[in-house]
Amino acid sequence: MATRETDIAVIGGGLSGIALGSYLRMLYPDTTFHIYEREYSMGGTWHINQYPGCACDVPSSLYSFSFAQTSSWSKAYPSAPELKTYALSVASTYNLPERTSLRTEVLNAAWDDTTSRWIVHLWDLNSNETYKHISKILFNCAGFLITPYTPPFPGRDIFTGPQIHSARWDPKVSLEGKKVAVIGNGCTASQLVPSIAPEVAHLIQFMRSAHWIQPPIMLPQIKALTWVMNQLPIFQQIHRFLVFLYAESDFSVQSPGRFGKFRRTFKANWVKRYMLKKSPKKYHHLLIPDFEIACKRRIYDSEPSYLSCLHNDNVELTKDCVERLTETGVVAAGREIPVDVVIYATGFATGDIMQGLKIAGRDGKDLGTEWKENGGAGAYEQTAVSGWPNFFMVLGPNSATGHTSALMAAENTILFALRVLDPVLKGEAISVEPTKQAEISYVNSVQSALKGSVFEKGCSSWYRNKETGWNASIYPWSQVTYWWRSLFVQKKDWIVKWIKPQQKKLGGMWVLAAVTVLFAVLAAGSVNTLSTALKMMVLTIKRD
């Protein structure tokens, strides 16, 4: 069996993998690493999701890397193709394609305690050959919204027309003049339905539950402002920082306590007025939720407007439950509706955060099994697990945010992991891992903070396990808190296996005044040498 060996093996070539590779090239240019991506292109979610109308619901100035800001976006909320182009451009800038194997699936990985190495078994989907990768460090950047969920309706095998999942869109299927059924009414459906409605003969949308659909945030693309940002990057940084502050202000809507309740009530009334004004009266009883706002992922009614689309004569919305498919249609509430195409906008399988990936730690136990025995997935600072040395996850358990850009969380996690791994990368230590006590204490604090939060206010969402109620998705605190905690390494929480017996520290002391400067730089997204220098500096910051 062929073998490759590097310092670091990376699972996933999406935005998290690209961010990690870029930081490694900037901060540790002599460190060897290789990225494995099972799709035929890098880009992650923006490569996979190519359905009509697919776009980001976070402003582009914030949904982009702090170290790779650009003012060339065509609009404030860019489309999936534009975001994929951006991701590939960043990957190319840091020479990541030459360090990436596409169409390669990770079969399993295991820690070998005798050699202090990760053994990763891989499958080349093009050649159908298997091989292994040996590395000191293993990063999982695959995320967990990767496997499309398709409801197991009876009759799926006999329906004669095309069946498409939004995350596996087939552009060869023509919808023009067709009768189409769209199953689902979340974020994806709100973009998909108004985008395909003009070309279909009839569209019936099957909804499960209502969502709060907010007015779009209008961020005009002003040519003069774009020119200024091109000439003076500091204005680009200020713009990003202001957008960050605006998005972060929405965190209070999901916070517990009287103020959070007040914000939710005020915002719900505002959003309700908008929804009633924009949508047909005949659907008002279906559209207005009976749970608190922010309990589910918010939906923006961007252009083309989903709520306005419901006025179209060829669009029908129903809450009738799909019972089964026939050869030529869909049966719901005892009624058979003839359709030519069935589209599943039903999201992703979220029950298993590891998505079937087997990663065995020191004692040979699979991480997914460990989490199941513990009642749910959890990790120290969202990234590391006791018993899994030199293993880090980017956007791991409880990394998701309900109000702002996930890329900020990804970058903060990467920089935190590199601070911890610094002695390993410099050849001073063999391995690092959190103590069991620190991991348990942190995971318990996360779950405790989520108890009684808005995410448990009577709605059913992918954030929580439907059977146990365990929330392995949402970060319970603000992104400022996330950033602050990622700046420091708690020495007492880590087990470090040093090469030499003498006591060493995870990092050295720096004046905390530099932290204030760093916050401004990171939040604003500086791309100059000062930013890189400061990021390198904080690799050594610690908190005793």
pLDDT in tens, 379-397: 999 999 999 999 999 999 9
Instruction: Give the orientation angle of helix 223-231 with respect to helix 233-249, to 10 degrees.
Output: 120
Instruction: Give the orientation angle of helix 233-249 with respect to helix 513-524, to 10 degrees.
Output: 90
Q: pTM value? A: 0.92
> Cβ contacts of residue 29 below 8 Å, gap of 6+?
none
pLDDT in tens, 162-176: 999 999 999 999 999
- Region 182-199 average pLDDT: 98
For residues 479-490, one letter each, b for 16 or more C-beta atoms within 10 angstroms of the residue's C-beta and e for the rest, the string is beebbebbbbbb
Q: Could you tell me the two tokens for 28?
A: 């540790």
pLDDT for position 209: 92
- Region 437-465 average pLDDT: 89
Query: Higher model confidence: residue 189 or residue 504?
Result: 189
Where are the domain boundaries for CATH 3.50.50.60 in the chain? 3-147+352-498
pLDDT in tens, 9-60: 999 999 999 999 999 999 999 999 999 999 999 999 999 999 999 999 999 9
Q: Examine the pLDDT at 239 and tell me if it is beyond 90.
A: no
- Region 508-537 average pLDDT: 43
CB 415 within 8 A of CB 486: yes
Kindly state which CATH superfamily the domain 3-147+352-498 is placed in: FAD/NAD(P)-binding domain (3.50.50.60)
Q: Examine the pLDDT at 231 and tell me if it is beyond 60.
A: yes
pLDDT for position 524: 43
Per the listing, tokens 């942190």 go with 442
pLDDT for position 192: 98
- Region 455-478 average pLDDT: 86
pLDDT for position 355: 79
- Region 119-123 average pLDDT: 98
Separation of alpha carbons 307 and 214, rounded Å: 10
Which of the listed ranges 250-264, 301-315, 445-459 does the model predict with the highest average pLDDT?
Answer: 301-315
Q: Distances from the Cα of 15 to the Cαs of 7, 65, 90, 209, 231, in angstroms?
A: 21, 9, 10, 31, 27
pLDDT for position 467: 80
Separation of alpha carbons 293 and 400, rounded Å: 17
Q: State the chain's mean pLDDT as an integer.
A: 90
Lowest mean pLDDT among 41-55, 191-205, 494-508, 514-528: 514-528
How would residue 502 be classed by pLDDT, with cut points 50, 70 and 90?
low
Which of the listed ranges 14-23, 146-155, 239-248 does the model predict with the highest average pLDDT?
Answer: 14-23
Q: Examine the pLDDT at 82 and tell me if it is beyond 80.
A: yes
CB 165 within 8 A of CB 36: no
Q: Beta strands of 394-517 (E only): which ranges?
A: 429-434, 494-498
Q: Is 243 helix (H, G, I), strand (E, B) or coil?
A: helix
Lowest mean pLDDT among 149-153, 310-314, 352-356, 374-378: 352-356
How would residue 516 be classed by pLDDT, with cut points 50, 70 and 90?
very low
Q: In this structure, is the dihedral angle defined by the CA atoms of residues 482, 64, 51 and 209, taken in order, positive or negative?
A: positive
Query: Higher model confidence: residue 451 or residue 437?
Result: 437
Q: Dihedral through CA 286, CA 290, CA 295, CA 299, nearest 10? A: 30
pLDDT for position 222: 61
How far is residue 527 CA from its own chain's centroid?
A: 23
Lowest mean pLDDT among 32-46, 177-191, 247-261, 275-289: 247-261
DSSP state at residue 149: -
pLDDT in tens, 400-444: 988 899 999 999 999 999 999 999 999 999 999 999 999 999 999
How would residue 223 be classed by pLDDT, with cut points 50, 70 and 90?
low
Query: Higher model confidence: residue 176 or residue 505?
Result: 176
Separation of alpha carbons 180 and 178, rounded Å: 6
- Region 444-454 average pLDDT: 91
The 10 Å Cβ neighbour count of residue 351 is 13
How would residue 189 be classed by pLDDT, with cut points 50, 70 and 90?
very high
How would residue 515 be classed by pLDDT, with cut points 50, 70 and 90?
very low
Separation of alpha carbons 491 and 226, rounded Å: 44
> Cβ contacts of residue 285 below 8 Å, gap of 6+?
none
pLDDT for position 225: 66
pLDDT for position 236: 80
pLDDT for position 520: 43
